[in-house]
Structure 1
Amino acid sequence: MADTTATTLAVGVLRYTPAGAGMPLGDLVWLTSAAFIPIAALLATAGRWADLFGRRRVLAVGLVVFVLGGIATVTVDSWSYVLAARAVQGAGAAAMIPASLGLLLGELPESQRRGAIALWSSASGLGCLLMQAGGGWLAAAVGWRALFIPDVIMGVLLLIACVALPPGKRGGPRGLPDMLGAWLLAAGIAVIVLAISKAMAWGMDVLWLALAALALLGGALAQAKHHRLPAIDLALWRRPRFVWGWLATWCFGALSYGLLTVQPLYLLHLGYPMLEVAMWLTPTSVAVVLTSILAGRLVKRVGAYGLIYAGSLLCGGACVLVLTQAGPTVWGLIASVVVGMGVGALAPGTSVATTLAARPHQYASAVGAATMARMVGGAVGVSVVSVVIDHPFMPGPLSGLAGALAMCVGISVLIGAIALTKITRLRTDPGDVMIKVPRRMLLELRMTLATVAAEADALLPVETRTPPMVTPSNPSLDPPLDRVPRPRTAEPGPLAGTRGPAH
């Protein structure tokens, strides 16, 4: 997330400085899309491989690739090479994201996993906060390339920290993975993101890309049906809980990355220097961190979709509040904080809704598929926002930015509708038959049954009573079944002298 924040800041700097003069916004946002395409394309496959081959191993490989891509982004000269370096970083991030959360969840008991997901989400907000706090100074003092230097430093430190991490359990059968299916899936998703990003520039030609993407994805699904270790875990997609969470995550990606793109562009368009822009954005990240931590406690009470519904209301309401303002005011600052609160609720809510819908051996696969949805949605959000800003449909001096905010309001309404629909569905999803009985309840039930058995035994004639089984060490406790029963002295019950059937 620090890298994503650096990218959005770099796009704003290039947009309003001579370094990017003459380049349309649709070309500048490829600094973001170039990383989104490999992330979205490889996430599902990387998550699957993390479950199969070890999550720490996949995490370390992703960090190495990410660091190398960051070094290239800072050092290469040509814009085409910069975009290629960003694609390399995206490939590394695709391995890091599902392996990190999958490793975390695999080492914790079930009761702590929701809180762990919330802390994991708050860490992403912390990455935004650190980059916004220092990114403005780096961009103003050194240049837009310096924004990617912290990525390299953090990547090296995390790579060293991998030595102390547990290896992570491997799940599922062993064997060779479905390489053909993995390449087909990656290519299909990459073509989809490319078609979305170039829809306005290429016009009707993107229809051919859409047909090619459908053919590639169809081939990946065909491979997954008969391969022993498929690239797509079809068992996940048979779970309605996961599908609903996936849809909410897709919309959240479009909303969050759309807002990340609009915020700095809005302030830079008004003439604010980069340092002041970073200061205006900092309260949003602070709100994301604090709300994500608080959401870890609230999710047990209101549920994942309760958090999603609240987050959509906060984000949509904040965008409406900004639309009523003519420029940066106190109300605009309040709106930025509310946006952070909304994103801080949506991030853990969508993560819990998708990840915990999977089985423990599928955690990394679920994280990969869900984050893929978020990145594809993010590519849609960035592309739509850039198109609306360059081709405004609303009147006024800030017509393009106002139109982008109006699109964010519409996406917030869609997320809220998905959450509300899921909240009102009371049917249990198939395959989720899990009954949790507290130990105290079991002990009380055992004592009750023992009392009933003793009373029933006292009502029977002496010769038909069941002799108890005892142990030499502690005759008062229930003995193991392999002990020889010893008869006991008859104890008359309240109906011992009555006549009637023995039963």
Structure 2
Amino acid sequence: MLRLVGAGVMLTVMADTTATTLAVGVLRYAPAGAGMPLGDLVWLTSAAFIPIAALLATAGRWADLFGRRRVLAVGLVVFVLGGIATVTVEPWSYVLAARAVQGAGAAAMIPASLGLLLGELPESQRRGAIALWSSASGLGCLLMQAGGGWLAATVGWRALFVPDVVIGVALLVACAWLPPGRRAGAKGVPDVLGAWLLAAGIAVVVLAISKAMAWGLDVVWLALAALALLGGALAQARHHRLPAIDLALWRRPRFVWGWLATWGFGALSYGLLTVQPLYLLHLGYPMLEVAMWLTPTSVAVVVTSFLAGKVVKRVGAYGLIYAGSLLCGGACVIVLTQAGPTVWGLVASVVVGMGVGALAPGTSVATTLAARPHQYASAVGAATMARMVGGAVGVAVVSVVIDHPFMTGPFAGLAGALALCVAISVLIGALALTKITRLRPDPGDVMIKVPRRLLLELRMTLATVAAEADALLPVETRTPPADPYKDPVPRPRTAEPGPLAGTRGHTH
């Protein structure tokens, strides 16, 4: 049940994200959204990304403090209510508000589900659980792409959000059979002010990125406000007993490196997820055929994520990250050389799925297992926050480049977006390669290096002490000298009866 609910949460969140990108594509070329620029339509995605990115770190911290099952159940309730509102309300502003509510629910669901999963499983099964949790995101994307095209073509774009509501209700019922999850046991009032400052700061950052082209230099004031808010959250964390930000995580270099890789993965994956349907719809393909073209990518994500869980112990998390970035960048280069959908384009879509399937578990393992067991939900929240902030950046930049291309040709905007994806892939690969070649232990994982000369001196000293102690014993109880070549491990003496025989404790 733990694995089922944990995978179901990630499946639902990714299906919801895929439904949003499909809905943006449908509205882009439908009468309902014909008069709206792509930057405004993309807010269907950004409206959910902002609260997810803003609340993930705080939600993960609170899940560790107050119970992971409790936070998971609250998140599911909020997510379901937001989904119902998205399907039923009419004004566009209300739709965006409902998407924001869903994002707040997802922010609680994600860290609580994986934190509960890792906290209840033995250490030998945690990497496999992370791989299952990551591959479920590809399965959610696959199912939505396979059935979402039919829903959008026959019912309408709002029907894309109905499956999320149904699965969310089923997961909420299944929470009754889950263990409550470990709690940190800390007493006191949580840092509510720090949580609000952190959420507001991240929300302002995402807003500034999304509106950079539309608002011009005015976003500078937003950037300054974001710095002030984040600085206040850090100041609160340094002095509060139960801070909203777990500063101990950020003192671990392994976590910081994984966080950076996760940020790049979010920008790359969500940027590609936005470009793919827009590219095919731009060519005039109907929604059902678009879904068929996207299905191989999702199949490759599911299969590769499952296989990556088997090999992560051999190649390491950063080996997977390097391979995934290489595959994604190479696939984008292949697409840039094609004039339209071809066999090579289909091969490239499969390679993209393989790359994302390697990056998802690689980044999850690199960040989550860098934390202590009592920090799992906090680490998941902070890492997924990086992924969502990166995703918001990727979606915003891709939409800006498509509307304001810097390249020439019939597909100038889409080609520019793919070129940016290649650049992000190169950065992720360089980061992973740097980490592979420059491994350093964390401050909490101290490795003591002793020179061989000191070890030999210690061995001689111990041998001298043993010889002097043996000389003080009666002749009949002495241990014969051991031959280091025949018997390198000395045999223990056999206990003999003495004045202390029969008393408690050792007899010699």
Partners of 2:370 and 2:473 lie apart in 1 by 51
* Compared CA separation, residues 21 and 102, structure 1 to 2 (3 A): same
**Per-residue displacement from partner, 1:382-426 (whole Å, max 9, x unpaired)?**
000000000011111000000000000000000001001100113
Partners of 2:67 and 2:402 lie apart in 1 by 44
**Per-residue displacement from partner, 1:93-116 (whole Å, max 9, x unpaired)?**
000000000000001111211111
1:452 aligns with 2:503: no
* Compared CA separation, residues 170 and 434, structure 1 to 2 (3 A): farther
CA contact (8 A) 1:8 1:261 kept: yes
- Farther off after superposition, 453-462 or 331-340: 453-462
* Compared CA separation, residues 171 and 392, structure 1 to 2 (3 A): same
Partners of 1:334 and 1:496 lie apart in 2 by 79
* Compared CA separation, residues 500 and 115, structure 1 to 2 (3 A): closer
Q: CA deviation at 1:430?
A: 1.6
Partners of 1:413 and 1:232 lie apart in 2 by 30
Normalised by the size of structure 2, how large is the TM-score?
Answer: 0.88
**Per-residue displacement from partner, 1:25-44 (whole Å, max 9, x unpaired)?**
00000000000000000000
* Compared CA separation, residues 454 and 299, structure 1 to 2 (3 A): farther
Question: Secondary structure, in 3 states, of the residue corresponding to 2:90?
Answer: coil
Q: How many residues align?
A: 494
Partners of 1:70 and 1:402 lie apart in 2 by 34
Partners of 1:484 and 1:308 lie apart in 2 by 44
Partners of 1:438 and 1:465 lie apart in 2 by 33
Q: CA deviation at 1:433?
A: 3.7
Give aligned-pair identity as a percent.
Answer: 91
**Per-residue displacement from partner, 1:293-315 (whole Å, max 9, x unpaired)?**
10111110010000000000000
- Farther off after superposition, 490-499 or 239-248: 490-499
Partners of 1:501 and 1:366 lie apart in 2 by 47
**Per-residue displacement from partner, 1:422-470 (whole Å, max 9, x unpaired)?**
00113222212489999999999999999999999699642664999xx
**Per-residue displacement from partner, 1:67-118 (whole Å, max 9, x unpaired)?**
0000000000000000000000000000000000000000111121111101
CA contact (8 A) 1:253 1:376 kept: yes
**Per-residue displacement from partner, 1:222-254 (whole Å, max 9, x unpaired)?**
000010000000000011100000000001000
CA contact (8 A) 2:479 2:493 kept: no
Partners of 1:429 and 1:286 lie apart in 2 by 37
Q: What RMSD, in angstroms, separates the aligned Cα atoms of the two structures?
A: 6.9
Partners of 1:144 and 1:498 lie apart in 2 by 83
Question: Secondary structure, in 3 states, of the residue corresponding to 1:231?
Answer: coil
Partners of 2:175 and 2:281 lie apart in 1 by 39
- Farther off after superposition, 173-182 or 312-321: 173-182
CA contact (8 A) 1:179 1:231 kept: yes
Q: CA deviation at 1:487?
A: 14
* Compared CA separation, residues 381 and 441, structure 1 to 2 (3 A): farther
- Farther off after superposition, 479-488 or 320-329: 479-488
- Farther off after superposition, 306-315 or 429-438: 429-438
**Per-residue displacement from partner, 1:237-282 (whole Å, max 9, x unpaired)?**
0111000000000010000000000000000000000000001101
Q: CA deviation at 1:491?
A: 11
CA contact (8 A) 2:495 2:507 kept: no
- Farther off after superposition, 119-128 or 426-435: 426-435
Partners of 2:451 and 2:423 lie apart in 1 by 44
Normalised by the size of structure 1, how large is the TM-score?
Answer: 0.89
CA contact (8 A) 1:461 1:496 kept: no
Which runs of 4 or more aligned residues in structure 1 lie more than 4 Å from their structure 2 counterparts after TM superposition? Answer: 434-461, 463-468, 478-503
Structure 1, unpaired ranges of 5+: 469-477
Question: Secondary structure, in 3 states, of the residue corresponding to 1:347?
Answer: helix
**Per-residue displacement from partner, 1:126-146 (whole Å, max 9, x unpaired)?**
110111110000000000000
Q: CA deviation at 1:488?
A: 9.2
* Compared CA separation, residues 498 and 159, structure 1 to 2 (3 A): closer
* Compared CA separation, residues 444 and 92, structure 1 to 2 (3 A): farther
CA contact (8 A) 1:310 1:345 kept: yes
CA contact (8 A) 1:358 1:366 kept: yes
Aligned pair partner of 1:167 in 180, 197, 208: 180
* Compared CA separation, residues 344 and 493, structure 1 to 2 (3 A): farther
**Per-residue displacement from partner, 1:176-231 (whole Å, max 9, x unpaired)?**
10000000000000000000000000000000000000000010000000100000
Q: CA deviation at 1:174?
A: 2.1
CA contact (8 A) 2:328 2:355 kept: yes
